[in-house]
Amino acid sequence: MSRTDNTTHTASVQDPATQPAHKRKRRSEPLDAAEVADAAITAALVVALLAVGRVLASGSLFQVFAAFVVAVLAARRRTRAVVISTCAAASIALILGGLGPVSQAALAGVFGWCGGFALRRKWGRIRTVAFSLLIAWPAMSFSVLFFYPAVAINGKLRKLVFENIENQAKGFGNIITNVGGVFGSLGLGFVERAADWVEGALDSTAAFLIDNWLLLIPATELIYTAIYALAIRAVGGAILRRLDKALVDPIALSLRHDANAQPLPVTIAGDALKRNGTTVTMPLHLDIQPGEHVVVEGPNGAGKSTLLDALAGIDNRDSILRPGAVGLGSFGGTARVGQRPEAQVVGTTVEEDLRWGLDIPIDVSATLADVGLVLPEDRPTSELSGGELQRLALASALRREPKLLLADEVTSMLDPAEQERITNRLNALRNTAVVRTTHRNDAAPTDRRILLTSINPTPTLIPDGTNELRTITSAVTESRLLRLRDVGFTHNPTQPWAHEVLSGVDLSIHRYEMLMIEGRNGSGKTTLARILAGLAEPTTGELTEAKGVKRALAHQHVRLQLLRPTVSAELHSLAGVRTDGKQPSTDVERHGMRSDNLDTTIELFALEHLLNRRIDELSGGEQRRVLLAGLVARGVSLLVLDEPLAGLDASGRTDLAVTLDRVRLAGTSIIVVSH
């Protein structure tokens, strides 16, 4: 028996640019994700450099810098990536600056491709310059000759072009003299004098070119091309050498059966588990055998999620005994489905998420149906409800046929019918050991139940009425806060894949009112909540609000709204109360009310013992209480709560219901979206 093996087994995959020719991607193959990413980054850098050059009146100089970037892309990726990157940069340049930056972006692409092509083949200086003269010099000359007729005919355009040449020369001269001035201040006067001479030479050269522009510009472009080619070869080669040292071989993403994955049997022999250095459980004695089903129960903050993290090899590794590697995420290893499905769904579409990391055939429809989902394969995951995301994450985990499945509150965002379906599906697993946490009394007769008790129990407070929430003065004078008439919402309404989630909603919301909105998963509850909170506009129908209404939404994915490091800092931020104890220069009365309300909500939501804790140390239920306490203290006119009971234990749900009624009586209308 050994401690958990956390060794990562990786496969070495060579970069396309460094592979032998017969192993490189064929030209007909589509660009992979890395090539597209490199092309996008290159285009952004090119545009940024050209913009800086335009501001500093040194467009030609920064055009060379942009060519360095393109050369690195051309040396490492296929020509198609360079073409896409150059076209993207030219398109953005057209929007930002007109035809001039477009020409510079195109030339940077041509010069960069020539230099990168030569670097990839390890050509010498002479061959590199010759290749650039063959390809890039005609392109540069054409870009200038294209303007010849217009320059010859249009006097204003000719004056503009000549002034641009003068400005370019002055820009170069200013940079050189400034550098020379720095050296002069260090006592190197000869460098400063040389810089002054170069500045004068540039001015004279610009004047000579303007006087003899018709014949000399193509010849000058020939010289520039040779200089550009040598510069790109030198700088681009240096960048590539640094990249070769810095970049590591990518890890293969495909998942196969991991022969080293032996997560079971797993044992905890009397150790107390910690989260971020803080002990959160009593000493545990636990042994889980293959195929066994274990249900972990307990109040919020008792360490249920910490236990699952330990079993997954994420934390507390020294407290876990098992015969081999945990194999987290590996086919046939360990799978963990957490309370935050939005953090586990990585694909942009349903099919992409299910196939992520798998190189074996998969029946998408059957896999979805296994968890009660009927969704189009190309449905964007950003449009899914919390319950749909939860089941999609579970489907992805089951598809890997794990020996150990860790399910943390996987039915918290589901309606009762779907809760029963998923619970029955997990109970039906025979070759997989299942450890799941729950606040519902839904353990099967054959399940082993474990009750965790918190070492830091939440204090039970009985409000005596002395600290009541104060109604915040509002400019709202109307009784009705919101009115919805025939409201509907469609995702991507102008696209062929438009998806309607709401239609024909008629609703009025008044002051001192609490409404409950119920519905099945995927029925549009979260979308309606966003509309009511003012975070989304209906695509059909009409929404009118009373003047002065302030709205807020407590999202079902609560961690996304908690942005401060500690509980105390987060509460003050949500409530709009200063942390230094000082009064603001304006709106003193409102700030005072919020400060008093914050003190009261800290008591109402029993958060005193958590004020100095970090947000990441809290359980899901504790995080939800922090969010609600902060928003309630702010004193908005309308508070929309999306699945506020998810992740709360039975006593927590009862306490929340009582607290919300006190909030309503203080003057905040409440809408609860739940199952």
Burial 346-372 (b: 16+ CB within 10 A, else e): eeebbbbbbbeebeeeeebeebbeebb
For residue 20, pLDDT over 60 is answered with: no
SS (H, E, C) 251-292: ECCCECECCCECCCCEEEEEECCEECCEECCCCEEEEECCCC
Burial 283-292 (b: 16+ CB within 10 A, else e): ebebebeeeb
- pLDDT at position 475, please? 58
Burial 82-103 (b: 16+ CB within 10 A, else e): bebbbebbbebbeeebeeebbb
CA 636/CA 619 separation, integer angstroms: 26
For residue 102, pLDDT over 90 is answered with: no
Confidence band, pLDDT 50/70/90 cuts, at residue 456: low
- pLDDT at position 254, please? 43
Span 481-528, pLDDT tens digits: 899 999 999 987 877 778 888 999 999 998 888 898 888 877 888 899
Side-by-side strand order, sheet with 551-554: 514-518, 669-674, 638-642, 551-554
> What is the mean predicted confidence (pLDDT) over 457-461?
54
- pLDDT at position 201, please? 84
Two tokens, residue 229: 């080619």
Element (H, E) at 669: strand 669-674
Span 120-143, pLDDT tens digits: 888 999 998 999 888 887 877 666
Span 260-290, pLDDT tens digits: 788 999 999 888 888 877 788 888 899 999 9
Two tokens, residue 292: 């066994």
- pLDDT at position 114, please? 92
Q: Strand 334-337 and strand 404-408: pairing? A: parallel
Span 279-338, pLDDT tens digits: 888 888 999 999 999 999 888 778 888 898 899 888 888 888 988 888 888 888 899 998
- Match 């006087």 to its residue by tokens: 211
Confidence band, pLDDT 50/70/90 cuts, at residue 633: confident
Element (H, E) at 642: strand 638-642
- CA distances in angstroms from 2 to 26, 79, 257, 329, listed in the order given: 47, 51, 21, 21
Nearest to 655 by CA among 645, 664, 646, 669: 645
Confidence band, pLDDT 50/70/90 cuts, at residue 42: very high
For residue 161, pLDDT over 80 is answered with: no
CA 557/CA 497 separation, integer angstroms: 26
DSSP letter at 328?
Answer: B
Between 161 and 233, where is the model more confident? 233
Q: Are 362 and 354 in contact (CB under 8 A)?
A: yes
Span 47-57, pLDDT tens digits: 999 888 888 87
- pLDDT at position 444, please? 83
Between 664 and 4, where is the model more confident? 664
Neighbour tally for 613: CB within 10 Å: 19
Confidence band, pLDDT 50/70/90 cuts, at residue 44: very high
Cα–chain-centroid distance for residue 473? 38
Q: Are 273 and 307 in contact (CB under 8 A)?
A: yes
- CA distances in angstroms from 536 to 70, 525, 529, 542, listed in the order given: 40, 13, 9, 13
Between 636 and 358, where is the model more confident? 636
For residue 6, pLDDT over 70 is answered with: no
SS (H, E, C) 50-98: HHHHHHCCCHHHHHHHHHHHHHHHHHHCCHHHHHHHHHHHHHHHHHHHC
- Mean pLDDT for all residues in the chain: 81
Quick one: how many helices (H) and strands (E) in the chain? Answer: 19, 18
- CA distances in angstroms from 47 to 76, 80, 107, listed in the order given: 20, 19, 13
For residue 234, pLDDT over 80 is answered with: yes
Between 606 and 97, where is the model more confident? 606
- CA distances in angstroms from 148 to 205, 230, 301, listed in the order given: 20, 28, 76
DSSP strands (E only) in 327-417: 334-337, 404-408
Span 395-435, pLDDT tens digits: 999 988 899 999 998 888 887 888 889 999 999 998 899 99
Percent of the chain with pLDDT over 70: 86
For residue 354, pLDDT over 70 is answered with: yes
Span 537-584, pLDDT tens digits: 999 999 999 888 889 898 877 888 898 999 999 999 988 888 776 767
- pLDDT at position 457, please? 59
SS (H, E, C) 544-563: EECCCCCEEEECCCHHHHCC
Superfamily of segment(s) 480-674:
P-loop containing nucleotide triphosphate hydrolases (3.40.50.300)
Nearest to 84 by CA among 25, 33, 24, 40: 40
- CA distances in angstroms from 549 to 83, 225, 476, 630, 639, listed in the order given: 52, 64, 6, 18, 11
- pLDDT at position 255, please? 47
- pLDDT at position 198, please? 85
For residue 1, pLDDT over 60 is answered with: no
How does DSSP assign 86-145, residue by residue?
HHHHHHHHHHHH-HHHHHHHHHHHHHHHHHHHHHHTT--HHHHHHHHHHHHHHHHHHHHH
Confidence band, pLDDT 50/70/90 cuts, at residue 392: very high
Nearest to 639 by CA among 604, 672, 594, 600: 672
Span 214-223, pLDDT tens digits: 666 676 778 8
Four-way CATH pick for 266-451: 3.40.50.300, 3.20.20.150, 3.60.20.10, 1.20.1070.10: 3.40.50.300
- pLDDT at position 251, please? 44
> What is the mean predicted confidence (pLDDT) over 523-536?
89
DSSP letter at 325?
Answer: B
SS (H, E, C) 504-523: EEEEEEECCCEEEEECCCCC
- Match 């044992």 to its residue by tokens: 267
Highest mean pLDDT among 70-74, 312-316, 353-357 belongs to: 70-74
Span 342-352, pLDDT tens digits: 778 888 888 88
How does DSSP assign 570-602, residue by residue?
HHHHHHT--SSSPPPSS-HHHHHHHHHHHHHHH
- pLDDT at position 498, please? 81
- pLDDT at position 214, please? 64
